[in-house]
Structure 1
Amino acid sequence: MLASGRRDREIRSVNGKLHLFLRGLLGTLALLVLAAPAPARADAAFTQFIASLWPEAQAAGVSRETFERETRGLEPDYKLPDLALPGRPATGAGKQAEFVQVPADYVREATIERLAAEGRRLMQKYQPVLAQIERQFGVPGPVVLAIWGRETDFGRYTEPHDALRVMATQAYAGRRKAQYRTEFILALKILDEGVVPRKAFRASWAGATGLTQFLPSDYFAHGVSLEGNAHPDIWRSVPDALASAAKQLADKGWQPGLRWAYEVRAPANADCTLGVPEVQRPIGDWVRAGFQPIGVRLSAAELAQPASLLQPEGIYGPSFLTTKNYFVIKEYNFSDLYVLFVGHLSDRMTNPQPFATPWAASTQLRTSSVEAMQKHLARLGLYGDKIDGKAGMLTRAAVGAYQKSAGLKVDCWPSEGVLQSMGAAR
């Protein structure tokens, strides 16, 4: 009996210790569960928005199977720029290099030379394709190669975002919802047609996709298959991508046989406020006013061509007389620096000479500072374009007009000194 009682007490002791251990373990697990981050909740409003687009997708010819497959589990990417979210700070426009770098940094000589060398190799490799493109669309091979080189480094660069997610996010929360609503539907149509698998359907934050960077609407408007594919493949077919880029330029008014621009040496008394697209004169008139073309002899036909003055750094750095084809390239990407890069790169594939006038050591104001400058210029009636913080042609000319009125040195460059002068005026 004594042995039995002692055994019972030992069992009760063990059971008690086990009970305390289990209670402690459960408590610890509870604390861990409470401390763990809650699983991400689906964005119900976004999901509902995407579902509401089915009738539009159906009208565009997208199958229900594709719509369900590609939108299942789709979530917005609120880290994208250019969004306007209720209750959150605006994310602002994307910091594209074309609008935040000075020309010397964007049109970097080492980069141009590297891409030009690769472009010369590709001119040989794709000579029959490029010849066919020029016969069909009137766009020289070096120009479409330069676009390919600028956009994706001849296919070496892969865009970081899922294209469908970008279109969906921008359609739901972007600043241009109506535009991206259409782009989202057309992106679904691309997937429905089986042109490119979803994993290869990559895009920039703004939705540009493929070797030569088209929005889905551009793809359907200008896409062409040089290889005879059922659908143009701008993601994996170099001939299709180059031909589609050429067709886009041709559709927007490219003139065969016309240069994109001529570098000129500007006279010392040149009025930089004339550097706007609206001021067009025959090249011969510019030459008679003292703007001397560098490195070329112009024919009578060239001298008769209308051109605009472009001075990307105001009176500093190189000056150019730009033709209609300059502005056609600008419709591909609305940036003077982009067009300069593409145009100069295309020239360098056949001529090794860099710009005759070097870029100046200028600094670029912050986007917010340029925006403040534009608002002040608008209040004075000197500027009537978008308030976007980008120092384009019209902004530079307006700065020059302000400098004239304020008795400052007229250089048409948005500098800190001009901004300070405006601050003092206010």
Structure 2
Amino acid sequence: MRVVAAVAAIGAALWLTLVPAAAQAADAGFTRFVASLWPEAQQAGVSRATFDAVTAGLEPDYKLPDLILPGRPKTGAPSQAEFVQVPADYLKEARIESLAAYGRGLLQKYRPTLAAIEQRFGVPATVVLAIWGRETDFGRHRLPYDAVRVLATQAYVGRRKEQYRLELIAALKLISDGVVTRADMRSSWAGATGLTQFLPTELDKHGVDFDRDGRVDIWRSVPDALASAAQQLVNKGWKPGVRWAYEVRAPANADCTRGVPEVSQPIGQWLREGFALARGGKLGAGELAEPASLLQPEGIYGPAFLTTNNYFVIKQYNFSDLYVLFVGHLADRITDPRPFATPWAATKQLRTADVETMQNELTRLGFYNDKIDGKAGMLTRAALGAYQKSARLKLDCWPSEMVLRSLQTAR
């Protein structure tokens, strides 16, 4: 362990030496890159005065994640940290209840606005409140980054340069049009901004001036921010009157490899196969006919869910099952104080590098054909389960050291 620590220390020292040098060498290139954007910005309707004012003295932020820099180890997004977070850590009960309690107060405070949003868009008030709560702690969290600097850096040396180039131009247009000031345009490390966290191009597609003051203001106007979130969900396929998911108890003989979006059938059919509503009760004919997919975030362990189309609509807001579970459950908790009926079971998750190794091995064996990202998502768990079947291992669809060793032995 001491040798490993020493090597790590040397690597860190080299990293600290190389990055500033690389950054300094690239600054001139960054300045030229930003200047080269003027024709594109002009075509988009950005004024020359705004372009010059916003880009004057603009410097890149080479400390951002998801960049590709000379002399710097390749890094992924924070969501791809060294250890994958288990659901119990992401969905901490104390955090959920704290947000739900605050959300109940906001439900009363903004009741007329929320009722009008729900009537117009068909998205429940609790869902848009939950998005607001998850994204910026109901506006109590100040976003830490200068959005323009983030977008410019990502457009210059990020992994998704073309996407961020468009986002940067869109941000300049928002400032040029007087929609938002440069000072107010704070963002996450990925450039999402406002109370409900929109990328600039998303705001252009889905923004709503709900308070009718002549501009879409998701930074200071709660009505605009919440209505824009609702409009985005509608534009991505939200179906009014349908829940996001139903927590269920899976039968002992349930096949966890069926837990993929492509396996969809009416909720009534799932119930006939032995799945049961976790808290009992009966569903109406419309609910029983609603198509749903099986979600078992911890394989056969922990809670199970039947997820509707609206689950996957929320997932387009943020492509993470844990994010959707957080938002959906928080929305429920604002009006229902009960936690998940089944407690989360996993206390440990494989390292991201190990999950990547697992994905590579599953790909080599023909069980997996999706991206290698170190995340144990739906498709990875299903592929893992298919391998477990073929290798006559316990079928649990959960990435463990035992299954990883088996895959490596199979090589």
Question: TM-score, with normalisation over the residues of structure 2?
Answer: 0.92
CA distance in 2, matches of 1:156, 1:112: 15
Which letter does structure 2 place at the counterpart of 1:343?
G
Aligned counterpart in structure 1 of residue 48 of structure 2, from 64, 67, 91: 64
Kindly state the Cα deviation for residue 415 of structure 1 after the two structures are TM-superposed.
1.1
Tell me what 1:367 maps to.
352
Tell me what 1:130 maps to.
114
Aligned counterpart in structure 2 of residue 234 of structure 1, from 218, 234, 244: 218
Which letter does structure 1 place at the counterpart of 2:179?
V
Kindly state the Cα deviation for residue 88 of structure 1 after the two structures are TM-superposed.
3.3
User: Is the deviation greater in 193-202 or in 117-126?
Assistant: 193-202
Aligned counterpart in structure 2 of residue 118 of structure 1, from 102, 105, 111: 102
The question of 1:318 aligning with 2:289 is answered: no
Could you tell me whether the CA contact under 8 Å between 1:42 and 1:75 is conserved in 2? Answer: no
Correspondences of 1:149-298 after superposition (within 5 Å)? 149-295=133-279, 296-298=281-283
CA distance in 1, matches of 2:150, 2:389: 45
Tell me what 1:300 maps to.
285
1:77-130 deviation per Cα after TM superposition (whole angstroms, max 9, x unaligned): 111111112443212222368x93100111111111111111111000000000
CA distance in 1, matches of 2:211, 2:316: 26
Could you tell me whether the CA contact under 8 Å between 2:80 and 2:374 is conserved in 1? Answer: no
Could you tell me whether the CA contact under 8 Å between 2:376 and 2:399 is conserved in 1? Answer: yes
Could you tell me whether the CA contact under 8 Å between 2:251 and 2:275 is conserved in 1? Answer: yes
Tell me what 2:361 maps to.
376
Kindly state the Cα deviation for residue 231 of structure 1 after the two structures are TM-superposed.
1.8
CA distance in 2, matches of 1:313, 1:64: 53
Could you tell me whether the CA contact under 8 Å between 1:275 and 1:393 is conserved in 2? Answer: yes
Could you tell me whether the CA contact under 8 Å between 1:263 and 1:321 is conserved in 2? Answer: yes
Could you tell me whether the CA contact under 8 Å between 2:256 and 2:296 is conserved in 1? Answer: yes
The number of residues matched between the two structures is 389
Tell me what 1:337 maps to.
322
Tell me what 1:30 maps to.
none
1:234-261 deviation per Cα after TM superposition (whole angstroms, max 9, x unaligned): 0111111000000000000100000000
Could you tell me whether the CA contact under 8 Å between 1:84 and 1:173 is conserved in 2? Answer: yes
Tell me what 2:334 maps to.
349
Which letter does structure 1 place at the counterpart of 2:295?
L
Could you tell me whether the CA contact under 8 Å between 1:264 and 1:292 is conserved in 2? Answer: yes
Tell me what 1:396 maps to.
381
CA distance in 2, matches of 1:309, 1:41: 51
CA distance in 2, matches of 1:117, 1:129: 19
Instruction: Considering Cα pairs closer than 8 Å and 6+ residues apart, tell me whether 1 or 2 has the greater RCO.
Output: 2
Taking only the aligned residue pairs, the percentage that are identical comes to 72
Tell me what 1:11 maps to.
none
Supply the RMSD in Å over aligned alpha carbons: 1.7
Could you tell me whether the CA contact under 8 Å between 1:171 and 1:179 is conserved in 2? Answer: yes
CA distance in 1, matches of 2:310, 2:75: 34
Could you tell me whether the CA contact under 8 Å between 2:298 and 2:346 is conserved in 1? Answer: no
The question of 1:79 aligning with 2:38 is answered: no
CA distance in 2, matches of 1:92, 1:275: 27
CA distance in 2, matches of 1:269, 1:422: 24
CA distance in 1, matches of 2:224, 2:177: 16
Could you tell me whether the CA contact under 8 Å between 1:164 and 1:187 is conserved in 2? Answer: yes
Which letter does structure 1 place at the counterpart of 2:97?
E
CA distance in 1, matches of 2:219, 2:294: 36
Aligned counterpart in structure 1 of residue 84 of structure 2, from 95, 100, 104: 100
Tell me what 1:412 maps to.
397
CA distance in 2, matches of 1:278, 1:177: 31
1:370-412 deviation per Cα after TM superposition (whole angstroms, max 9, x unaligned): 1111111111111111111111100111111111111211100
Q: 1:380 to 1:202 in 2, by over 3 A?
A: same
CA distance in 2, matches of 1:104, 1:313: 10
Structure 1 unaligned segments of length 5 or more: list them.
1-36
Could you tell me whether the CA contact under 8 Å between 1:85 and 1:173 is conserved in 2? Answer: yes
User: Is the deviation greater in 65-74 or in 355-364?
Assistant: 355-364
